Homo-oligomer: A and B are copies of this chain.
């Protein structure tokens, strides 16, 4: 049994991690650290856990009792923690914050997108889990990068559920405002662009064009639906072949002929991808559950790889479908 610790246990991604791990056959949760909730039942904070666990949040950090530590911390707090603590030598880490996603001198973290870096993750110890938008956009574009086909500007639109905004109340997370509403935020400048470009250039070092990314706030709780438009002269059939070849060995990415819709992936670790050609332009649509494939599901996927489990272990989730 892999013994698991979680830091930052009160947030949405921690809740989702717990929900999945409770049914994971080869791991057990040892502690869920949350200073603000220490002593409270986990089920009193995280919807859906009544009857699943009687565990309490703790403010303790028994790092020598665990094999892997998940950071569900706010951006900046993982780095701060690691600067202030030294970790047991064998302890593995998956960081869901953005602190170590970008390559830099002294950064020992592997960028944890299994569809890009599976081999490295399997042999690694520290993993930086990708961002949610970053995941759905990369999965839409990686096969093009692998085939050196990113030679023009890319126009990306992606709409996210409210859980992407985190648990902290904001005017735009109020129900009365958000329901039935659509809006744009951080156009062109979303913080995930850097990790996306880093990955695209990992496969196509010549990539030097712009990625014009417009993120939208959606009026639903879960999921991201993404569209990418780019000039491409290759036929749809050939592109489908390239995409399917790229994802051949991946368990969670499915390239499908029919148009896709967001609820096909909600509450699963799947990513669906669909292609449309029009003249010399390609539309790639892709969708994921932002909290699962876009966060906690991939974190567990990474854990499975770090411990040489079958990658789908614990991640065969019933789709909510409706």
> Assuming A259-B183, A259-B185, is B316 touching A50 (CB within 8 A)?
no
A75: interface (CB < 8 Å)? no
Give the A interface residue count (CB, 8 A): 84
**A318 in the interface, Cβ–Cβ < 8 Å?**
yes
Q: Knowing A187-B276, A214-B283 touch, does A48 contact B264 (C-beta < 8 A)?
A: yes
Q: Is the CB of A320 within 8 A of B266?
A: yes
Contacts A175-B175, A268-B48: A285 and B163 contacting too (C-beta < 8 A)? Answer: no
CB <8 Å contact, A174 and B169: yes
Q: How far is the CB of A170 from chain B (nearest CB, A)?
A: 8
**A19 contacts the other chain (CB 8 A):** yes
Q: Which of B23, B182, B266 contacts A262 (CB 8 A)?
A: B182
A258-B44, A263-B48 known; A221+B268 contact, CB < 8 A: no
User: With A and B bound together, what is the CA distance between A260 and B49 in angstroms?
Assistant: 12
User: Contact partner of A173 among B49, B176, B279, B281, CB < 8 A?
Assistant: B176
| A183 engages B261 (CB within 8 Å) | yes
Chain A positions 284 through 322: 1 when the CB is less than 8 Å from some CB of chain B, otherwise 0:
010100010000000000000000000000001111111
- Give which listed residue, B50, B260, B263, contacts A180 with CB less than 8 A: B263
Q: Which residues of B contact A50 (CB under 8 A)?
A: 254, 256, 260, 264, 270, 272
Minimum distance in angstroms from A137 CB to a CB of chain B? 14
Does the CB pair A267–B320 fall under 8 Å?
A: yes
Flag if B173 contacts A174 (CB, 8 Å): yes
Q: How many chain copies? A: 4
CB interface residues, A 156-170, toward B, < 8 Å: 157, 159, 161-163, 165, 167, 169
Which residues of chain A (83-112) have a CB below 8 Å from chain B?
A: none
Q: What's the least CB distance linking A19 to chain B, in Å?
A: 5
Q: How far is the CB of A177 from chain B (nearest CB, A)?
A: 7
A195-235 interface code vs B (CB 8 A; 1 in, 0 out): 00000000000000010101010111111010101000000
Q: Are A263 and B184 in contact (CB under 8 A)?
A: no
A178 close to B (CB within 8 Å): yes
The 6 closest A-B pairs by CB, nearest first: A48-B319, A188-B278, A183-B261, A221-B322, A169-B169, A182-B225
Q: Give 16 A-B pairs besides A47-B263, A155-B212 with Cβ atoms closer than 8 angstroms.
A: A23-B317, A47-B264, A51-B254, A51-B272, A161-B322, A162-B322, A163-B176, A173-B176, A176-B322, A183-B225, A183-B259, A183-B260, A184-B283, A188-B281, A267-B318, A291-B322
